[in-house]
Amino acid sequence: MRTMIRFIVVVFFLVSLALFYSVYISPEYFPYVGLLTLTNPLLFFINAFLFTSLVIAKRKLAILPLIALIAGWKYVGTTIQFNLPKESQQSISVLSYNVHLFNYQPPSSNQLLTSGNIVKWIKENPSEIKCFQEFYQDFTTPSKNHIKQLAIESGYEYSYQINEGEKNKRSYGMAILSKYPIINDGIVFENRRNNGVIFADIKIDRDTIRIYNAHLESMNIDKDNLNNLDGIKENYRSTLKKLKNGQVVRASQLEILKEHMDNSPYPTIIVGDFNDVPYSYTYFFLRKNLENAFEKAGRGFGFTYNRVLFFLRIDNIFFDPVFDILNFKTHREVDYSDHYPISASFRKPINSTARKIQE
């Protein structure tokens, strides 16, 4: 019995160490490693159970799950937080929202939510900088002319980069809106679907910051299959393959983004839908030299996905350490998309010396 217990503890110890550190390995080299890291929270709790049991049994073997817990402690902070908000009269606020083309049908409903609901909420949100993924624009229909409604009529400058469509008619893409002057903007990369990264350099008083709006490679899973557990079970093989392929593509996209950020002369904030969880290469690649708003100022679990897999946090705000974050919020009361909007505020003034993402 003792030999069996020792074997189990040693196996979990070795597997845990390997997977806890595998988030630093690019899926480009080991394509399926990104899927295995999804088990990291479970491994952490198993090691916590083993450690407690071995301590109660007064076994020296408890040192192994203890070491594993220390190695995996970072996942506690990426999963749950208990920060208290700070107050400041001098702050800038940033909103990020995947708006689902302003055309969302909740799984429990047979009717589409009218775009007027989400437009009204966005217009009432006080954030000075607003970033949108899956932004649909129709210049020919007043009720769907979202640039006019959300930017021009609301006093925001804007950068709108299309992925598909004709810019003079109907199109969709990504948008950055700002109450402050936008002095430069552009595309970091894009593909033929919804995904890409855009940026805008924004002048705030005497300082300039760079905002990146990201929508990294999607999971490419039919979302109707994620509406219920039966759909997930029936399509799990194809789902796993698509998850693997998506992680490989996101890894290559991160290299493009890194090079662009390395050449930025300004401190940066990067927001968006990253299509990856906090136990992934994507998350820890960005976290290497950037801070995460949820970790520094969030509370609870911060889940952002509004589907049956509600426990996913795939929308994030990362920021250069020169910023002083005040608060972060996941707006889970806003049920107008398959994502919940997130927002953060930062104290002014801003130190204009930017740190770069290093190798």
pTM: 0.90
List the CATH code of the domain at 93-347: 3.60.10.10
Condensed to tens digits (0 to 9), the pLDDT of residues 55-113 reads 999 999 999 999 999 999 999 999 999 999 888 778 999 999 999 999 877 666 655 55
Convert the pLDDT of each residue in 243-268 to its tens digit: 888 899 999 999 999 999 999 999 99
pLDDT at residue 352, as a whole number:
52
Total Cβ atoms within 10 A of residue 268: 23
Give the model confidence (pLDDT) of 141-187 as tens digits.
998 999 999 999 999 999 999 877 766 688 989 999 999 999 999 99
List C-alpha distances in Å: 61 to 2, 33, 58, 239.
11, 28, 9, 39
For the chain, give the longest Cα–Cα distance: 74
Tokens of 238: 């194809």
Strand intervals (E) in the chain: 81-82, 91-98, 129-138, 157-165, 170-178, 182-190, 196-204, 207-215, 268-273, 291-292, 299-300, 315-319, 325-330, 342-347
**Tokens 């959300």 label which residue?**
150
Query: Which part of the chain has CATH 3.60.10.10?
Result: 93-347
Nearest to 306 by CA among 57, 93, 108: 108
Other beta carbons within 10 angstroms of residue 52's beta carbon come to 12
Q: What residues form DSSP beta bridges with 172?
A: 136, 164
Could you report the per-residue pLDDT of 178-229, keeping only the tens digit for each? 999 999 999 999 876 679 999 999 999 889 999 999 999 987 666 555 555 5
| Residue-averaged pLDDT of the chain | 88
Helix (H, G, I), strand (E, B) or coil at 342: strand
Separation in Å, CA 34 to CA 51, 76, 240:
26, 18, 11
Tell me the per-residue pLDDT of 113-137, one tens digit each, with 9 for 90 and over: 556 789 999 999 999 999 999 999 9
